[in-house]
Amino acid sequence: MQAFWTGLGLGFSLIMAIGAQNAFLLRQGIRGEHLFMVCLICALSDALLLTFGVYGAATLTGRFPTLDIVMRLAGALFLLLYGIKGLASALRGGQALAPAGQTKASRGRTVGVCLALTWLNPHVYLDTVVLAGAVSSQQAPKGAFLAGAVLASFIFFFGLGYGAVRLRPLLAHPRVWQILDGLMAFLMWGMAVALLWPLIASSLIT
């Protein structure tokens, strides 16, 4: 039972920081666009990554040492492009400000963005695969630890998404949406720089 509570606590601590994925989920909740699907994708993706971290991460990272570099480059590129899109939306002050129920993004596009923000973000792998995998090696049984961590993901993502629905009245003004999109853009760029910095630093040292 102790392993379950350890997994639950660790799961919450890993995903509570507002990153690219959580910011996107919060925005979808406020706009009321494909919310259940986005929450489910985030939670299931976390569950898959946690399962891999608990039962097999060490083998893959040992066999493919360049995987971290590839993940960082792909993730940074996507975050840079998504940040440009967010800033453009903030400067236009139009399309992204549509009320819930109007001018919704297509289901396919929403799924694509959600999957990209989840699976192209190296921080997700570092948290769910590397860190959770390392902690799980000290827990018994591992299945109980994994169950706690996965439960934390489902509670957090669905709580964040549907909790954001209550913020709609506070965020009805178009100016607020412009500020939100602008902040998200700079958040994406900051995360992209953070992902690339270890590669840049190592190249400068050598």
Give the model confidence (pLDDT) of 34-45 as tens digits: 999 999 999 999
User: What is the pLDDT averaged over residues 50-55?
Assistant: 86
Beta carbons within 10 angstroms of residue 100's beta carbon: 15
Contact yes or no for 124/118 (Cβ under 8 A): yes
- For residue 163, what are the contacts with CB-CB under 8 A and spacing of at least 6? 29
CA distance 192 to 18: 15
Position 141, amino acid: P
Cβ-based burial of 34 (10 A; exposed 0-12, middle 13-18, buried ≥19)? buried
Q: What size, in residues, is the chain?
A: 206
pLDDT(62) > 70: no
Structure tokens at 131: 């860190």
pLDDT digits (tens, 9 = 90+) for 117-174: 888 877 787 778 766 776 776 677 888 989 999 999 999 999 989 988 887 776 666 7
Query: pLDDT-based confidence at 99, cuts 50/70/90?
Result: very low
